[in-house]
Structure 1
Amino acid sequence: MLDENNVTEQSYVLYSMYSTSASLCRNLLINGTAVKFQIDTGASFSVMNKKTFVEKVNIPLKPSSKVLKTYTGENVQICGEVEVVVTDDVKSATLPLVVVERGGPLLLGRDWIQHLYVDLRINTIDSHDKKLQKLLEDHGSVFKSAAGCLFDVKVTLHGKPDTTPKFYRARQPPYALREAIEEELSRLQRDGIVEPVDHSDWATPIVPVQKRDGTVRICGDYKITVNKVCKGDNHPIPRIEDLAYSLSGGDKFTKLDLSHAYTQLQLDEESRKYTTINTHKGLFTYHCLCFGISAAPGIFQRTMEGVFRHVPGCVNYLDDVYVTGKNDEDHLRNLHKVLSICEEKGLSLRRDKCEFMQQEVTFLGYRLDKNGVYPLTDKIKSIRDAPTPRNTQEFRSFHGLVNFYGKFIPNVSQVLAPLYQLLRQGQRWCWSKAQESAFSKIKSVLSSDKVLVHFKPENEIVLVCDVSPTGVGAILTQPDDHGHERPVAYASRALNTAERNYSQIDREGLALIFAVKKFHKYLAGRHFTLVTDHKPLLGLFGEGKSIPEHASARVQRWAITLSVYSYTLQHRPGRENSADALSRLPLPYTPDEEDETYDINCVPEEVNFLFSLVDQALLSAKDIAKETQEDIT
């Protein structure tokens, strides 16, 4: 235990490091590895001895300013501190860990307890909690960050009839990245993901994306090869109604995340030719379904439905597998079946992204609990919490949004009358109680079912994006029976300091990425129209455009991100852009909100890796000069 009496802020006394008395312990995953800790409510922070650290974690340490002493006054040598990903039965968090030289039990201190909701009621632990913990321990082999491999199924990419093979020469990478690319190719070969080939009728150039640790991610530019000629998989992605029906009658809910999603599926021999990449080290063919192939979502959904089809109370939505039961016993029985199938068939799960036996789960903008399905307020937050306009320009943007959806608002002119006064010629800006009341009323109407519609996967999807000098905004819409675009959800946020310094075209590109990331679960596996008011983007991200070879790292990452979606990029003049108001009246920027918006845990792996990178250079003018000169907006 850590005793803080009579010691300085950074000095602590450890007098339970060698205790032999009975202790309450907790099994946790540290960076994916199982470790047993002794719960110590007197400890300010959590401690691990060096021997265990080297065996279980073994990552670089940072210096520590803390001073530790034993109960008898001896100094305890500190090796350093480190941030680790800690996962318990229900959640995960990145937390600090102090590593000491000497042995002794591993201490789970108050800093971890408050994040992990450790139950300290020793004699009242629920029997079902124990059964869940035992179940997860029994199936511990399925929880790993590395991709698994579905043993008994091979999937097929279907080329269109009379398809002419597409062969692109290798792009010469920067000299500074060559060694990292070669190391990554070697790793992929060792892991059985790719193999070198001497000849191929198909070849896709690669775009190497550098990660924070200096390694690279190798991405095929399949947008210009495979995606043009391979048939899409028309297997339906589940609708909200399908998910709700499959999980109805459940008391609690578990959500499992399949590691690396598509790469767990093996390709048949004939399909592998389509995935061949051309590098400065030669041709390599993938053995598995890989990132960037537009048919992948439908293939993955169909395959996973087949894998889990005999398990009651189970349904999957792409890489998320949901499990429930009419009571805890039934739930645990169904969960056991799912985990057993994963073990038998070679599938792996990301433990840090799984949630077990929760009272509710969320998907596609809805919250599901044992009583029913409810729309989330997040999808209207950008309208509901939109700040008051500060000048005529900001109000005109909001007025444009109201006009765009005014046809669905009863008595819109009457509601807006106090606001229309601000648009009169020569009218001085004056925001009074009358304007504030009208503003609140119209926001309420825009957020109501008079305007908003429920998402229907079978209908066309239009995603409208915009950016201003201060914020980004997006509206997910679907046409109604009369062809009018009706909003499904709104999203916005303010730009941070760095983003405000972006060039105009970089800000416009950011709006696209913000929108597809925010609404990924709606878009994955479906074709949609992506709307921008900045015409030069069509030259960079338009349908069939290759990933720009000499563009900035940021633009290359964005192009790769967009390549995993099936979309048509459409230009719409600014005056017709319904998202303009959201970008000019964005929700405030906060670090927490930014983390949520760009949380790499909320989307499949083919998008995850792109947003874990650090933005660096701005877009090169050389690559966009032509499009910018032709822009009339």
Structure 2
Amino acid sequence: MPGIDPGFLCHRLAVCRDARPIAQKKRKMGDEKRKAANVEVQKLLHAKFIREVTYTTWLANVVLVKKSNGKWRMCTDYTDLNKACPKDAYPLPCIGRLVDGASGHAIFSFLDAYSGYNQIKMHPADEEKTTFITENANFCYKVMPFGLKNAGATYQRLMDKVFRDQIGRNIEIYVDDMVVKSNSMEDHAADLAEAFGALRKHNMRLNPEKCTFGVKGGKFLGFMLSSRGIEANRDKCQVVIDMWSPSNLKELQRLSGRLVALSRFLPRLGDKITLETPPTLTRPDPLNPLLIYLAVSDEAISSVLVQERGGSQVPVYFVSRLLQDAET
């Protein structure tokens, strides 16, 4: 796979100068995991994503994680290397803005890059810092692997450069999530041709098995997009409905995270019953005024943004929360 021209963009590791290289001790693996790791290594060698190295200073173990389909995913434990690298503060897009910008269109295509991270080359000087241990040899990555601290920032930087003339106009991108949006099938054909032209120019490849073209709705960043607007992900709603009351801090944090993701749909965030029929949110029209309704009780405060559409008011966004002791 040709991949991105390193002269256009490659991944660098800004390892702190005073960081001491750490070589992890080899961890034991069961037979099933060891065989799965060997299979994955052979795939990476065949794709020319890795190469064998000797006398390395940084060394990490591989971690095998079972996927939902029963197959194994091989990851690398770059904990030590990541600690030695400062965070890349490249700005990621606001998810709310992307979802608002993509919703309300008639036709969508959802794109998925083929081994997206692996299409970006590692800088040659940093390749050997990614070395990992296997049963028979040590290998380093020639391409950007998963698990590196700033890989997401590098990928977003690539997407912003490749699609800078399209983002916000006919495509929305958050790291490796891409959606092409149009208001008619004729426009969509032209928008897809423009996107494919940008991909072809930079030797990027898509995974056809994970792409969906010319549909009226679909999932994007955990939300359901359609011409009607933004809908809550019913699977996420059902998970919260089926949950028992949290019995420890970890379960409480898990519940809080799930509720935050759904909060914009819920006029009463604390009531499970509202999750059974969450409203469809309308994409805000910048040319029409926004109306805000407030509701306050002794224990909570809530508000909803609405706009006039066709003689009726439609919701744009909900916000609600409990009042703290000092606020009651």
Quickly name the TM-score band, shorter chain normalised: 0.5 to 0.7
Q: What percentage of residue pairs aligned between the two structures are identical?
A: 27
Which one has a bigger Cα radius of gyration? 1
Distance in 2 (CA, whole Å) between partners of 1:489 and 1:204 is: 46
Of 116, 133, 151 in structure 2, the residue corresponding to residue 296 of structure 1 is: 151
2:251 is aligned to 465
Distance in 2 (CA, whole Å) between partners of 1:210 and 1:249 is: 37
Of 126, 129, 134 in structure 2, the residue corresponding to residue 279 of structure 1 is: 134
1:203 is aligned to 59
- The one-letter amino acid paired with 1:149 is G
- Alignment partner of 1:265 is 2:120: yes
Relative distance call for 1:180 and 1:355 in structure 2 (3 A) is: closer
Does the 8 Å contact 1:251/1:327 carry over to 2? Answer: yes
SS class of match (1:250): coil
Q: Which has the higher helix share?
A: 1
| CA deviation after TM superposition for structure 1 residue 204, in Å | 0.8
Does the 8 Å contact 1:171/1:279 carry over to 2? Answer: no
| CA deviation after TM superposition for structure 1 residue 353, in Å | 2.0
Relative distance call for 1:337 and 1:163 in structure 2 (3 A) is: same
2:303 is aligned to none
Does the 8 Å contact 2:177/2:220 carry over to 1? Answer: no
| CA deviation after TM superposition for structure 1 residue 307, in Å | 1.2
- The one-letter amino acid paired with 1:465 is E
| CA deviation after TM superposition for structure 1 residue 195, in Å | 0.6
- Alignment partner of 1:239 is 2:25: no
- Structure ranking higher on relative contact order (CA contacts 8 Å, 6+ apart): 2
Distance in 2 (CA, whole Å) between partners of 1:208 and 1:221 is: 10
Does the 8 Å contact 2:131/2:139 carry over to 1? Answer: yes
Does the 8 Å contact 1:172/1:280 carry over to 2? Answer: no
SS class of match (2:198): helix
1:156 is aligned to 12
Does the 8 Å contact 1:182/1:281 carry over to 2? Answer: no
Residues 537-586 of structure 1 show CA distances to partners (whole Å, capped at 9, x for unaligned) of xxxxxxxxxxxxxxxxxxxxxxxxxxxxxxxxxxxxxxxxxxxxxxxxxx
Residues 352-374 of structure 1 show CA distances to partners (whole Å, capped at 9, x for unaligned) of 22222222233344333335434
- The one-letter amino acid paired with 2:77 is D
- Alignment partner of 1:305 is 2:91: no
Scaled by the length of structure 1, what TM-score is found?
0.36
- Alignment partner of 1:171 is 2:11: no
1:450 is aligned to none
- The one-letter amino acid paired with 2:95 is I
- The one-letter amino acid paired with 1:331 is H
Distance in 2 (CA, whole Å) between partners of 1:386 and 1:182 is: 39
Distance in 2 (CA, whole Å) between partners of 1:488 and 1:254 is: 35
Distance in 2 (CA, whole Å) between partners of 1:266 and 1:204 is: 19
- The one-letter amino acid paired with 1:159 is V
1:315 is aligned to 172
Residues 133-177 of structure 1 show CA distances to partners (whole Å, capped at 9, x for unaligned) of xxxxxxxxxxxxxx7722343122222342211112333545676
Scaled by the length of structure 2, what TM-score is found?
0.65
- The one-letter amino acid paired with 1:373 is I
Relative distance call for 1:209 and 1:367 in structure 2 (3 A) is: closer
SS class of match (2:205): coil
Does the 8 Å contact 1:167/1:201 carry over to 2? Answer: yes
Does the 8 Å contact 1:246/1:313 carry over to 2? Answer: no
Residues 254-274 of structure 1 show CA distances to partners (whole Å, capped at 9, x for unaligned) of 111112232221111122232
| CA deviation after TM superposition for structure 1 residue 211, in Å | 8.7
Distance in 2 (CA, whole Å) between partners of 1:354 and 1:367 is: 16
- Structure 1's unaligned 5+ residue stretches are 1-146, 388-393, 402-462, 467-472, 479-485, 491-633
Aligned residues: 260
- Match runs of 1:572-611 below 5 Å: none
Residues 277-329 of structure 1 show CA distances to partners (whole Å, capped at 9, x for unaligned) of 12342321101111222322222122112111123411212222111223222
